[in-house]
Structure 1
């Protein structure tokens, strides 16, 4: 029995806190939910972009025609099809058409991804067909034997083809995450995985027909699937942004974002916004409080490998803690020690995730699969759990505190330091909106705070008052803004380069 070392009380709480509610999923195939919306309201606007719109009926027809075209090109259920596009209405046709053909879409932002990355994605995902638009076709490094289809110029069949047999455990998308070796790892996420989070609450975000959902994020980021498929599966209107992120947010009812992206949006300028969800990186408490006073604000957590998010918490500004909540429906979370034994409630350990959100694994990487996925002894035979590399602990009332990443626990002067703990202290300083702390060398930390008028001396004193001396950054650099990756997260390598440049200039 894997719980026998715990007290009876902690055994009960381990089961009670660690399991999300068992909830039926309306349809295990996410595109079928979109088809139902098209049948019910064909004239409703599915998406808008740069003044153009597409209705649900049009989107469904074009996607059916594309699926027939893909079938003619030899695409079959279980295949992977590249979707190398920028934010646009053709992007939606491509995504839905691939799913209707029974294949998994492999998204890349063709305007941002370098050729070497596209080549790696094509090779690893074994795509034979790639969808793009005419303006970007020349950027696709097309191997011999591959077919490139332009979504906005090539004619599509007038009649749909036969519907393929698609199973819930077939792939829905393949997301490439940043790998520790520098080479992105392809994660295969199934229809069952996606439907489980997007078609149940709270992951469905209460989206109703006619709601406006902002599409702010890079399509190669799994949270974009939350925006896109979460909206279309519930009959909303997807507001696809142009260059101005805030302009799309201002007219939206629902926003899904990283904290970094959300911090650039003024809640006072978004009177329609009813629901906000953030994930992808730790959320500063001041940002959560500011939005939670105006809307239902969900602080969420979960890597790509557990399908978008697997814990969610609706934040109350009056709450003593900002937590990541509890497992979402049909999912589990375990706080384990290094021997994969459950820890007593309140002790810090590594979070492992189980249940219907656990993805099918990495493409062509048996070593990494063996390291990060393991049989789930708590759910039993046939189930797997995933090692998130996130640190956490249960509060006494069953909420998960996120305490950083295992790789964010660094040694400074021989002492273990949690970088997020330092940043949290800095973010509690009046006037500081955002903070990031990084290890500069074996003896020192460097912190970056935003905005540029934060007093660095006051910031260092705040850390010295709250944490041991070895946690105090040797330098605090105020910046007008923090650099972002193309996925809307803080660009930590860029910050370290900036610190090195400033040190070099000072010399």
Structure 2
């Protein structure tokens, strides 16, 4: 009998290995049988609170084993889980819930106080109320399993509805048959589509999910997870992979395979990791939420390192792809065209944006009747061996820290400020291979207070979508057809503002130099905030590593967030001297 839903596939795995460990969360070890029972209890409570088939249930939880329980329980009542990112501002979460039609949210004690829209009822996952048996809900392979929200080109976030069929097709891919993904850490935010790999690939194949500690994993955390839990496979964003390759590539020793993607993968970083971990396979991955995560891959080993740029690779099993021109005609090998995807992994669409669904999911003129293609917006070329290479974007979407960002949504947020008449946004290169957003605004009347504007946008958008710098212009440059001419925008030099004083101690001076080096700036003052200068979490990891190597001092990323200036960090490191 063919299993047609995630919950059916999981139930079959419970029967095969009931006593095997399914999830490890700190000292908590949950067997398949126990996970099944916990999901059943929560599913019954969900049904009692009104969760119904094909309705979204928001998951507002900290990273924990309860996230897996929540996903399974939601699917058991036939509903779709809608994971929310706790790091997002309250207004962003409210905006997503307003667009999603969700009426129920699963929370923890630590998240129960987040302000939610009127009409959203909450249910504590760690509650103790009793409930009966969950209802029996018929499985539907084309039913929606989850809805994930991404940046939208219309100025609003858009939800992507992914089906059970898409997830099961991903899990069944032969690339997981190697056994290299039997023990996988949950590292990504569960509102990020990589959680589909981190949860369902191991669980639906009899493996184990290891819940990582909160925050961005540093080298010491990864080394400990791999060593203590026998991690075999993991996913790292291209940015995090590059930082680890620069700072401590040996932290990946012991793992069998590392997946990396979400942005251009550094060939130098791959070669560095393989040099220090010769038994490791590094697999570059490419995909979108609209195609249930991974669609292309390029495995690399110590004997087959990348000689040039890392390619997008070849399609995974069952993934259809075409490289087409503007008229949807195939282009020859070696010629740049736009990539279109087809197959079982395509999402249902955007439930809150039917017009965008029709624009992005189009009829496949080369497939059987009824087959659709997803327009990726990525420009690629295919070489003589059938391998795809990324060449750019056909629209204004960019990648920041592995997250896709529609510049139109950032521009719309800037224009909600009463002092802004018009706005444009660019993604510009930054030190370390990263990119930062720069906003350009035209005042509506009085001068724009750029500091207030940045705070205003930060209340609406995640930090990775908030411009690092805002530039005021008299007008935006336009092309001959009236569109913003982004190439004519005056990109500023990302420099630190004058801090008003010189370093007072030798430690402050050394930290100022380290801050400037990591941020790629000529100088940083002792009272300048790392994050106000555009620093991000991956750069904070570099900062911690540089402090360790230059000063021989141990600092965690959490300390950098609490003491983000050289002076504050100096006081933390040497409170007596301060």
State the alpha-carbon separation in 2 of the partners of residues 452 and 259 from structure 1. 23
Q: Which has the higher contact order (CA 8 A, sep 6+)?
A: 1
TM-score by length of 1: 0.75
Look up the match of 1:220.
191
1:452–1:392 CA distance, 2 compared to 1 (3 A): farther
1:400-439 superposed matches below 5 A = 400-407=388-395, 434-436=433-435
Look up the match of 1:500.
none
SS at structure 1 position matched to 2:81 = strand
2:16 equivalent to 1:40: yes
Count of aligned pairs:
420
Write the deviation string for residues 137-172 of structure 1: whole angstroms up to 9, x where unpaired: 11041423x431100123243x63342102000011
> What displacement does 1:235 show?
2.0
Write the deviation string for residues 103-153 of structure 1: whole angstroms up to 9, x where unpaired: 1100002x3122222222222221122111122111041423x43110012
State the alpha-carbon separation in 2 of the partners of residues 267 and 27 from structure 1. 40
State the alpha-carbon separation in 2 of the partners of residues 304 and 213 from structure 1. 20
2:325 equivalent to 1:324: no
1:48-59 superposed matches below 5 A = 48-59=24-35
> What displacement does 1:369 show?
1.5
Whose Rg is larger? 2
Write the deviation string for residues 370-421 of structure 1: whole angstroms up to 9, x where unpaired: 22111011212111111111110101111000122223699xxxxxxxx99x
**8 Å contact kept, 2:311–2:389:** yes
Look up the match of 1:121.
96
Look up the match of 1:186.
159
SS at structure 2 position matched to 1:222 = coil
2:198 equivalent to 1:234: no
Look up the match of 2:295.
310
Write the deviation string for residues 166-188 of structure 1: whole angstroms up to 9, x where unpaired: 20000111010011244210010
Look up the match of 1:9.
none
2:209 equivalent to 1:206: no
> What displacement does 1:445 show?
5.9
**2:536 pairs with one of 475, 478, 483:** 483
2:283 equivalent to 1:298: yes
**8 Å contact kept, 1:193–1:356:** yes
**8 Å contact kept, 2:266–2:309:** no
Look up the match of 2:417.
none
1:108-147 superposed matches below 5 A = 108-109=84-85, 111-144=86-119, 146-147=120-121
Write the deviation string for residues 217-262 of structure 1: whole angstroms up to 9, x where unpaired: 0111111121111121122221211146144532121111211122
> What displacement does 1:481 show?
9.5
Write the deviation string for residues 23-72 of structure 1: whole angstroms up to 9, x where unpaired: xx974422333223322222222222233222221111010111222222
> What displacement does 1:280 show?
1.5
> What displacement does 1:484 show?
5.2
SS at structure 1 position matched to 2:239 = helix
State the alpha-carbon separation in 1 of the partners of residues 194 and 169 from structure 2. 15
Q: Which runs of 5 or more residues in structure 2 are unaligned?
A: 399-425, 439-485, 495-513, 522-532, 542-578
**8 Å contact kept, 1:205–1:275:** no
Look up the match of 2:239.
260
SS at structure 1 position matched to 2:346 = coil
**8 Å contact kept, 1:437–1:447:** no
1:434–1:170 CA distance, 2 compared to 1 (3 A): same
State the alpha-carbon separation in 2 of the partners of residues 451 and 213 from structure 1. 34
Look up the match of 1:462.
none
Root-mean-square deviation over aligned CA pairs: 3.3
> What displacement does 1:346 show?
0.9
**1:281 pairs with one of 260, 263, 269:** 263
1:163–1:207 CA distance, 2 compared to 1 (3 A): farther
Look up the match of 1:413.
none
